[in-house]
């Protein structure tokens, strides 16, 4: 970051989360953890009991603008990671278990959607974040460092992405990425 604009992500713990206007929602794979992002930049981690009671666990501060999207950033159940993005181009990588901000970056573009993708190279598993938003490409970001690795660009039709899904095939062991235009 340049200039005097330093954003320090911090975590506040408490039993009662403040009222906030939700701008994005994510249910983790365990179906017992719900993440909400709100218009003032806060993120709340909620625990859902088997009786369907929802209790706040942590309130995370790391964004200076509205949270535009949330996505898981890991595939394992032992280490649950979450990535959040804001209207001002900020991205944070969070540890869902303890609420720590692991990584932070600021880009010149605002993401409106992020999809996590994990693949294997030999015995090593790596994660990527496929990001799209109010810009004419798909950014492929490393899920642990939040570094932009490369982008997918259409020279023929700019602003070609409005939505994206990754479809996994158990039959062919392959994956397909579908884009909405």
What is d(CA 31, CA 87) in angstroms, rounded to the nearest whole number?
Answer: 27
- CA distances from residue 177 to 9, 117, 174 in whole angstroms, order as listed: 32, 10, 10
134 in a structural domain: yes
Is the pTM higher than 0.75? The answer reads: yes
47 in a structural domain: yes
Q: Which residue has the higher pLDDT, 163 or 35?
A: 35
3 in a structural domain: no
Taking residues 139-166, what's their average pLDDT?
Answer: 80
165 in a structural domain: yes
Taking residues 56-80, what's their average pLDDT?
Answer: 89
The set of residues, in sequence order, having a beta carbon less than 8 Å from that of 70 and lying 6+ positions away, is 24, 25, 26, 35, 37, 43, 82, 83, 84, 85, 114
Q: What is the mean pLDDT of the chain?
A: 83
Q: What is the CATH number of the domain that holds 138?
A: 2.130.10.10
In the predicted model, is pLDDT for residue 174 greater than 50?
Answer: yes
In the predicted model, is pLDDT for residue 116 greater than 90?
Answer: yes
In the predicted model, is pLDDT for residue 30 greater than 60?
Answer: yes
Domain count, the chain: 1
CA 157 to chain centroid, in Å, comes to 26
Asked whether the beta carbons of 45 and 56 are under 8 A apart, the reply is: yes
Least trusted range by pLDDT, from 41-45, 118-122, 137-141: 118-122
Quote the domain boundaries for residue 58: 10-180
Taking residues 147-157, what's their average pLDDT?
Answer: 83
Asked whether the beta carbons of 117 and 132 are under 8 A apart, the reply is: no
According to DSSP, residue 17 is labeled P
Closest CA to 11 of 55, 56, 77, 54: 56
pLDDT at 17: 52
Taking residues 9-28, what's their average pLDDT?
Answer: 75
5 in a structural domain: no
């Amino acid at each position: 970051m340049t200039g005097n604009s330093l954003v320090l992500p911090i975590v506040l713990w408490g039993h009662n989360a403040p009222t906030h206007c939700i701008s994005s929602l994510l249910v983790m794979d365990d179906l017992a953890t719900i993440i909400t992002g709100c218009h003032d930049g806060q993120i709340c981690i909620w625990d859902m009991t088997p009786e369907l009671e929802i209790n706040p666990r942590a309130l995370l501060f790391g964004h200076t603008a509205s949270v535009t999207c949330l996505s898981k950033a890991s595939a394992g159940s032992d280490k649950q990671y979450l990535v959040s993005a804001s209207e001002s181009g900020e991205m944070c990588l969070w540890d869902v278990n303890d609420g720590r901000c692991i990584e932070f970056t600021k880009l010149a573009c605002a993401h409106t959607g992020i999809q996590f993708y994990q693949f294997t190279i030999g015995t090593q598993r790596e994660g990527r974040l496929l990001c799209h938003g109010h810009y004419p490409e798909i950014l492929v970001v490393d899920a642990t460092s939040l570094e932009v690795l490369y982008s997918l660009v259409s020279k023929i039709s700019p602003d070609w992405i409005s939505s994206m899904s990754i479809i996994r095939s158990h039959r062919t062991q392959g994956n397909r990425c579908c884009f909405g235009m």
